[in-house]
Amino acid sequence: MRRLAVLLAAAGPLALGACGGAGSTASKPPVRLTVDAPGDGAVVRQGSVEVSGRVSPAGAAVTVRGQSAAVAGGAFSAEVPLEGGDNVIDVMATAPTARPAMTAVRIVRELTVRVPDVTGGSSGDARDRLASAGLRADVHESSDPFQDLLPVDASVCSTDPSPGARVERGTTVRVRVAKIC
């Protein structure tokens, strides 16, 4: 029995050290990390965004999407390239005297394109040019009995949205086709 008590007395400090005793990170305060810009859920059109914020302690190291960010006086910033659509940007801060902290912001990069001018061309050409621009064509051909008798080919009369308008990639463009515009 005495042998068991000695064994337990010797193993106690080892067990405490392994389970988060005095030397563990659990007793350290966490790094304070805030992202000031961009705001979570922001919608942008440009191909990159500057992520900036504050960290404490001021000497903490900050990574944005796994890349080191510039930190000066507790403020950090990093330029982050964006893909089209949803982007999740993770930010992590570490310091020897504190537990790590992590946060993330979601940014939506909206991709817009100009509606090409397809008036005067055929409906097939309009479909091809709109598809090349990342748009969908909804072609509506005039069904006027008088026009059906004309010996000319139908052409694109108008589009909605009109040529030159900026729209999101994937937008459906209504194309009106007739023999007489």
Q: Cα 117 to chain center, whole Å?
A: 30
Q: Is the pLDDT of residue 1 over 80?
A: no
- Domains of the chain, start order: 25-109 (2.60.40.10), 112-178 (3.30.10.20)
Mean pLDDT score, 79-84: 92
Say whether pTM exceeds 0.75: no
Contacts of 98 (CB under 8 A, 6+ apart): 28, 29, 30, 31, 57, 60
Of 1 and 141, the structure prediction assigns the larger pLDDT to 141
With a cut of 70, say whether residue 4 has pLDDT above it: no
pLDDT score at 77: 95
Res. 132 pLDDT band, cuts 50 70 90: very high
